[in-house]
A and B are shown apart, each in its own frame.
Chain A
């Protein structure tokens, strides 16, 4: 049995290598000269490794500044999404109030409607609020649209927690907010981890929203937008782009490694009880 299990490596090792080949290719292109990348074929090892692409990405494309903006933007989006979906999920999961079914129904219905093209009305709204040209506007536009799956995850989890837990806390004199904050929310850690990673990945790579909402303030742009400064109308700086992709990948791989365990336990928690 044990021996047979390790036989799987014969399949997994080549499979995994094939799987990440495109990724390795990106990393190696980041160290190649533009010429070598386009003319030199698919050799993974750069003939004359160079750091020029990273220097260019860092300086010309402002990637230092953009990385900081992206961290702030993504962290803010994650905070808002976690807060909003946790509170909403708690109310929907624990309360049997009138209108609950309607709210859940409407939420699920909107899940299936495409959102991409609604950016113009959203832009007008943020503009009216006077929040354009700041990261707040971008954060609102990214975090604002209902994150239905996230809400449903919290809702499912909170509804599965035993009523006695709430009752006991109330007997101890805890109010609604304290029960949520000190008893229930800490129990929802796995869900928080899941929602954080999920939201973080999409915020990190977001393009349209941060572009549109930082038009007048290019200094506030994020990596997802900055990446596109390597695309010209007729030409593209592929190696610069590859270097930029590597820079933007590093933090997110770090986050994945940190959150992997919480994350894997995440959804599990939703149905554990």
Chain B
């Protein structure tokens, strides 16, 4: 009994010693001391660019490497890929800039990040390059207007898109045909009343094995999705842009919270969503445990990967029984993604890489690989291999998304600052209160009223604070009296 463990231990000890030796030997080969920035010109005179990306969605690592190899073949420019964990990408790129070792091209994850990076002068203005390379011709005519593109800051083009504007603005209802049929339904719910009634029936049938509906996470995305079909989308973040007034108490929001709260207290939703991560809801759907839920673009491909034989469809998000009151608001033509460093030593070469990232070739390859609707519509809208659910996404987006004003896209630095200050205070959003109302079965209306008072006081105070600096902002910057939420919005010339 005692011999065997001993000899095993001796063996392991030997292994440990070997590992230690290996470590000692490798110290000399590994660069322990910080080296100056990696040489950007190789000995042959070829340029080497650095790009900071995230390995997202899964499989993206290999995909980017293959694409950049093609880019190198074509241009002779080599690409050094820096991958950061998604959650850390912005922190990482910021620190790289602080260190004077910024990437030449980087994924700037969305509008807030572009605000921060451009206000520090880190992003290069792309207007001249874009014009001379014919970028505008690759997009619809009015897509790259400075006031609505979402890619401009202070009138300058600061970023280029990866995905289509609709893709990043709206969601849809994903439904399982078989489970709907088990409840006796032949089509997905179209109104919020049906949403509740269908879900109730199916959950009762499921007896704990499957459920009528699921919420996607503790974040209020389901409430906001339903709200946007009932009233102006901006009410989801507390402001009615038609009047510039605070509006958490608006019935378009309160009603949706009450709906979800009612369903939660009746135990209609699949339990546990309060601690789900973003991937959980579509995993549960793929397991055929949920009849329908409100999802986002990337879910469809993930569901198909997980359960290729699942018969499911995509429809518009339910609207109020009284009829549609509004649409998902698309506040900009695109969400910004690819930006070029203002400090790059090789702007011409870096531009070539940018150009490649919005080329038809790259965007088509990206769609083919991940089935994400890319910024260039031609790459996917008429694609021959679109699946049923994918056609459903196109139809749902066209039917439920409209262009809408967005102060941070359209306004100047003053109002951008105001919106940034607002989103830096999580207690000025309804997420915490509505979650409390839903999980603890409490009345939301009084909380909404309280939130309105708080937000109003904050706006007053912050407008005064910002106006004391050289920036200008007023309530008028939050008011678009000409906006009809049932129409596509265009800024008045």
In the complex, the answer to whether B26 meets A235 with C-beta atoms within 8 Å is no
Q: Which residues does chain A contribute within 8 Å of B58, judged by CB atoms? A: 230, 232, 235-237, 240
Q: Does A225 sit at the interface, judged by CB under 8 A?
A: yes
**Interfacial chain B residues near A255, Cβ < 8 Å:** 16
Cβ–Cβ contact A39 & B19, under 8 A: no
Within 8 A of A (CB), among B56-73: 56-58, 60-62
Tell me, yes or no, whether A68 is within 8 Å of chain B by CB: yes
A258-B34 contact, Cβ under 8 Å, with A235-B57, A251-B19: no
Give the residue name and chain of the B residue nearest to A69 (CB).
Answer: B30
In the bound complex, do residue A38 and residue B95 qualify as a contact, i.e. CB atoms below 8 Å apart? no
Beta-carbon contacts of A224-266 to B below 8 Å, as 1s and 0s?
Answer: 0100111111111100100000000001001101100000000
Is B15 positioned at the interface, with any CB of A under 8 Å from its CB?
yes
Chain A 59-82, CB-CB to B under 8 Å as 1, else 0, gives: 011000000110110011000000
Which residues of chain B have C-beta atoms less than 8 A from A228's C-beta? 85, 87-88
Q: How far is the CB of B101 from chain A (nearest CB, A)?
A: 4
Interface range for B: 35 or more
Determine whether the beta carbon of A258 is less than 8 Å from that of B13: yes
Query: Is B101's CB under 8 angstroms from A216's CB?
Result: yes
Which chain B positions have C-beta within 8 A of A71?
A: 19, 22-23, 26
Q: Does A4 contact B (CB under 8 A)?
A: no
Question: A137 interface residue, CB < 8 Å from B?
Answer: yes
A218→B92 CA distance, assembly (Å): 11
Would you give the shortest CB distance from B417 to chain A, in whole angstroms? 22
Q: A75-B23, A233-B56, A235-B279 are in contact. Are A133 and B286 (CB under 8 A)?
A: no
Range class of the A interface residue count: 35 or more
Cross-chain contact B96 with A215 (CB below 8 angstroms) = yes
Q: When the two chains form the complex, which single residue of B22, B30, B279 contacts A135, counting CB atoms closer than 8 Å?
A: B30
Interface of A is mostly: helix
Do B23 and A72 touch across chains, with their CB atoms under 8 A apart? yes
CB-CB under 8 A for A231 and B86, given A38-B286, A39-B287, A258-B13: yes
B427 within 8 A of A: no
**Contact assessment for B277 and A236 in the assembled complex, using a CB-CB cutoff below 8 Å:** yes
Q: Please state if B27 and A229 are interface contacts (CB–CB under 8 Å).
A: no
Contacts of A212 in B (CB 8 A): 91-92, 95
Q: Which residue from chain B places its CB closest to the CB of A38 in the assembled complex?
A: B283
B378 within 8 A of A: no
Residues from chain A with a CB closer than 8 A to the CB of B55 are 229, 232
The residue among B20, B278, B279 with the most chain A CB atoms within 10 A of its own CB is B279
The answer to whether A257 and B9 touch across the interface, beta carbons within 8 angstroms, is yes
In the complex, which residues of chain B have a beta carbon less than 8 angstroms from the beta carbon of A139?
32
Question: Among B27, B62, B87, B99, which residue has its beta carbon within 8 angstroms of that of A132?
Answer: B99
Q: By the criterion CB–CB under 8 Å, are A234 and B298 in contact?
A: yes
State whether A229 touches B12 (Cβ < 8 A).
no
- Asked if B181 CB lies within 8 Å of chain A CBs, one says no
CA–CA, A139 and B33, complex, Å: 10
Say if the beta carbon of B307 comes within 8 Å of chain A.
yes
Question: A132-B99, A134-B32, A258-B13 in contact; A35/B82 too (CB < 8 A)?
Answer: no
Note all chain B residues with C-beta closer than 8 A to A130: 34
Among B22, B57, B61, point to the contact of A60 (Cβ < 8 A). Answer: B61
Within 8 A of A (CB), among B346-401: none
Which residues of A in the span 105-136 have a Cβ within 8 Å of any Cβ on B? 123, 127, 130-136
User: Are A132 and B283 interface neighbours, CB within 8 A?
Assistant: no
CB distance from B178 to the nearest CB of A (A): 15
Closest approach, in angstroms, between the C-beta of B30 and any C-beta of chain A? 5
Report the bound CA distance from A60 to B15 in whole Å: 26
Pick the 9 closest A-B CB pairs, nearest first: A134-B34, A228-B85, A232-B56, A258-B16, A237-B58, A216-B101, A233-B86, A71-B23, A133-B34
Task: Give 26 CB contacts A-B under 8 Å.
Answer: A39-B287, A123-B98, A133-B34, A134-B31, A134-B33, A134-B34, A135-B31, A136-B34, A137-B34, A211-B88, A211-B92, A212-B92, A216-B96, A218-B83, A230-B58, A231-B87, A234-B57, A234-B298, A235-B56, A235-B58, A235-B278, A235-B279, A235-B302, A236-B58, A240-B58, A254-B16
New A-B pairs, 13, CB < 8 Å, besides A68-B30, A130-B34:
A34-B305, A131-B34, A133-B37, A135-B30, A212-B95, A220-B31, A231-B87, A235-B298, A235-B302, A254-B16, A257-B9, A257-B12, A258-B12
